[in-house]
Amino acid sequence: MNTASAEGPGLLHRSGRWCARHAWRIVTLWVLLLAGLGAADHAWGGTFADSFSLPGTGAQTGADLIEAHTTGAGGTAAPLVLHTAGGTVAAHREAVAAAVAGLDRLPDVLSVADPLNTPGAVSPRGDTARLTVRFDGNPAGFDPSYLARVDAAVEPLRAEGVTVEYGEPLGQLAAAGSADRVSEGIGLAVAVLVLLIGFGSVAAAGLPLLTAVLGLAVALGALGLLAGPFDFARASPTLAAMMGLGVGVDYALFLATRYRALLHAGAEPDEAVGRTVATSGRAVLVAAATVAMALGGLCASGVGFIGTLGIAAGLSVVVAAAASVTLTPALLGLLGRRVDRLHVRTPVAEPTGASDVWHRWALGVARRPWVSLTAGLLLLGILALPAASMRLGHVDAGAQSTARTDRRAYDLITEGFGPGANGPLTVVAQLDSGRISDPAGREDLAASLRRELTAVPGVASVTAPVTSADRALLLTTVTPATGPRDPATARLVHTLRDETVPHALAGTGATGYVTGTTAAAQTFTDTLAATLPRIVGVVVAAAFLLLLTVFRSPLIALKAAVLNLFSIAAAYGVVVAVFQWGWGGALFGVSEPVPVESYVPMMMFAIVFGLSMDYEVFLLSRIREVWLDRWDNHLAVATGIAATARVITCAALIMTSVFLAFLLSTNVAVKMLALGLGVSVVLDATVVRLLLVPASMYLFGRANWWLPERLDRLLPRLDPEGPAPASTTGPAPAPAREPGPEPDPVPTPVPLPGDRR
């Protein structure tokens, strides 16, 4: 006897039916929510800017000491690079003075350093100079109109033929407008095409798109509002758009597909919506919870920058799931039996019977499970090989297009001052009370410190240490011989921080710190590299427990986690080969090999793991549904593969197109994420779903569904997609037997512990 039938409709069933019967209320509520959040975002929303603050680290402590003890050292500094093709910058002294005065009058400017009166600010040849402007906030997050005021301030220089380029982070404000809208448009266009070809009905194709777009707009409005009181990275809206649009279409598509199958089986529209939400809707909630949990695991990194990216992406996933189980049922209720009208071909739903191509594929895997499993693992292993040489780092302006002003500023600094001038290091020595009051002692310490720093291999120059106005600090600038992205510079930072500075200050009572943008970026990289294993452990363990509770099978939960790790490693390998090794990087707008942005592996892991679980949950839900109805593992796997093949394939094509469209982004880190996520979805929808999952489940047989009785009693009941009522779906059709492993040799179905009929 079917439990659901005996106990009556559950909460999800009733809520889905209610949404269908009160469709206009739900639609109106979502429209009002969108309008309200849009208005609130416009009135009180904030801006997005990167903040790599790392409290408790030497780089952050050194920066805080400089700000506390040095006048005019607060805020965010950005260089304006001046260059003359002939002659010297000093020949334009009046224009330089006029530009300095104009910049100093701008709002949000704390100070402006005249390069002609600043030691080391003019290149040895005199044709290049760095004019440093210090802002009270990160200029990358200013309104784009601010740039016109900067242009007006430096116009006297340009009028005399002096080239003026804006370095980071001001140059980020001057970068070309984001390509996010274009990327979203491409993703939606591909989604329309895939849905029309895959399902034939215009209404069935448009419904998932409408739900996804409305949900994404609501999520972005909420995110913009949150950006007011909280700091969110510049990539947050892009990442939220990638995730929200991708999963939003997927979730609504799964519901629409199940609804159409129930209609074709003879159910009334309202009842079909209720059963859809009770089955596929529950699977959507479990899948969304898995993705959000993986993204929320990024907060365990302890790094605010990473945590906010996870929150932004997780917010879009949660909103997409909410839209799927409320707005989608409402729209289905409005369409009723008209869901298949305006078709461009004969509408299709879930396939049935053993003659379906996907059913035949599943039976083919059953005949050679070891071959299928080995082939799939071998392919993933080969793709994962480059990941062993992954080098983390920060992708700076030097990797951007030469069409950008911050890239041109970077190149001018390299030509005029040397590659290391783009990433100078500041050494801060905090003096004890005795040294503060002893001028001779300070001079001896300064001379000793400079001597030790100069002797370090890889150091191009060291400035004479200067004492802060309150005599509490000694400050000196170390210029590396190599650029910020060079591995030699990373080794130099470690050497100075861990060996040279502590040795130079030993026995003096002073405490030393290495700070500056390059040191902070390296510290950020080191912190994330050390944190990644903890994130992996937290997310995998949480996902294992969730899947164990949902599917009541330790083996299925463990298999899902392990296979996802294989697909993640393969995606890492592709990213390393393209961006770090340079294999085709120019095709994606990256002109030279670059290190993998330090936060990309962590973000990829959380997102890929969550999305992989998406397809795993939907596939295993259908397999378990047949298992609970027929107690035949062979039949359950074959029928589950066939029932979900079309919808998962279409969903994967849509999500892949959404991700790959973001390769148009001007942000190299976003390009890395887009390629890695796109590759991972393809691998999950093909190698994992079509080879590894069915092959492993055939090999494990009835062990797939084993659960110790004691553990069964401890776990809460949380079925993602319980058996559908027999009156609607009927028993699963028995496939035509083909050569291959025999079904489980159990003459009469006998439930294993944890299974319920």
Which uninterrupted H or E stretch holds 54? none
pLDDT at residue 628, as a whole number: 84
DSSP state of 406: H
* pLDDT over 70 (residue 102): yes
Can you tell me the mean pLDDT for 634-649?
83
CA distance 311 to 296: 6
Confidence of residue 324 (pLDDT cuts 50, 70, 90): very high
* pLDDT over 70 (residue 729): no
Check residue 249 and give left, alpha or beta (phi > 0: left; psi -120 to 50: alpha): alpha
Q: Which two tokens stand for residue 233?
A: 């990275």
Check residue 120 and give left, alpha or beta (phi > 0: left; psi -120 to 50: alpha): left
Closest CA to 560 of 637, 484, 617: 617
Q: Cα torsion at 441, 447, 449, 453 (round to 10°)? A: 180
Q: Which residues contact 28 (CB under 8 A, 6 or more apart)?
A: none
CA distance 490 to 453: 16
Coil vs helix vs strand at 2: coil
pLDDT at residue 710, as a whole number: 86
**The 3-state secondary structure of 510-527, one letter per residue:** CEEEEECHHHHHHHHHHH
Largest separation between any pair of C-alpha atoms in the chain = 97
Can you tell me the mean pLDDT for 704-727?
67
pLDDT in tens, 548-561: 887 888 998 898 88
Q: Which residues contact 628 (CB under 8 A, 6 or more apart)?
A: 722, 723, 755, 756, 757
pLDDT at residue 755, as a whole number: 38
Q: Which two tokens stand for residue 340?
A: 């298949």
CA distance 215 to 220: 9
Q: Which residues contact 690 (CB under 8 A, 6 or more apart)?
A: 361, 365, 641
Can you tell me the mean pLDDT for 625-630?
84
CA torsion sign for 615, 618, 621, 627 is negative
Confidence of residue 115 (pLDDT cuts 50, 70, 90): very high
CA distance 291 to 603: 12
**Which is more confidently placed, 238 or 181?**
238
**Which is more confidently placed, 752 or 608?**
608
Can you tell me the mean pLDDT for 409-434?
90
End-to-end CA distance of the chain: 7
Can you tell me the mean pLDDT for 398-421?
89
Radius of gyration of the chain (CA): 30
CA distance 614 to 376: 20
Report the relative pairing of strands 459-462 and 163-166 from DSSP bridges.
unpaired
pLDDT at residue 346, as a whole number: 57
* pLDDT over 50 (residue 733): no
* pLDDT over 90 (residue 496): yes
Q: Which residues contact 439 (CB under 8 A, 6 or more apart)?
A: none
Cis peptide bond prior to 144, omega within 30° of 0: no
pLDDT in tens, 5-46: 445 577 888 898 999 999 999 999 999 999 999 888 888 887
Which uninterrupted H or E stretch holds 164? strand 163-166
pLDDT at residue 435, as a whole number: 59
pLDDT at residue 84, as a whole number: 94
pLDDT in tens, 40-97: 888 888 777 666 677 788 888 988 898 888 776 667 889 999 999 888 999 999 999 9
Confidence of residue 148 (pLDDT cuts 50, 70, 90): very high
Do the beta carbons of residue 71 and residue 469 sit within 8 Å? yes
How high does pLDDT run on average in the chain?
83
CA distance 603 to 608: 8
Report the relative pairing of strands 392-393 and 596-597 from DSSP bridges.
parallel
* pLDDT over 90 (residue 286): no
Closest CA to 600 of 581, 575, 567, 578: 575
pLDDT in tens, 335-389: 888 877 766 555 555 555 556 677 788 888 888 999 999 999 999 999 999 999 9
pLDDT at residue 120, as a whole number: 87
* pLDDT over 90 (residue 614): no
